[in-house]
Amino acid sequence: MKFLGFVRVETLNRIQVRVHGDSMWPTLRDGDRIEAVQGPSPVVGDIVVVRHPMKHITVIKRVKRIVGDSLFIEGDNPDPIGSEDSHNFGPVPHSSIIAVIQD
């Protein structure tokens, strides 16, 4: 018997998230309930649940760029005033990611 490698086991916590507002429209709509997973690192294109860097709220946004330990996040709403995101408050630290939305 040969040892061919190793298996990495991760514990992933699943949480339910309810969408409030239209910043992620048309992908997500106000009132949608979606599942997110705590633990995995996001990649560009992922939708994430994030602690707002300036307010005591949680937001749902898409990762547009990752530079070092910072993520540039944006809403999907094409209306330029339809989303408060990194255009308003700059990149967010990776540590502010709560969970990643699963497809």
Phi, psi of 70, deg, nearest 5: -115, 145
Domain map (residue ranges) of the chain: 13-101
Contacts of 6 (CB under 8 A, 6+ apart): none
Please identify which residue in the block is written with the tokens 């937001």.
59
45 or 5, greater pLDDT: 45
Tell whether domain 13-101 is in CATH 2.10.109.10.
Answer: yes
Averaged pLDDT for residues 23-40: 95
Whole-model pTM: value is 0.86
Is residue 76 over pLDDT 90?
yes
Can the peptide bond before residue 26 be classed as cis, meaning omega within 30 degrees of 0? yes
Instruction: Report the relative pairing of strands 13-18 and 33-38 from DSSP bridges.
Output: antiparallel
Query: Percentage of the chain with pLDDT > 70?
Result: 88
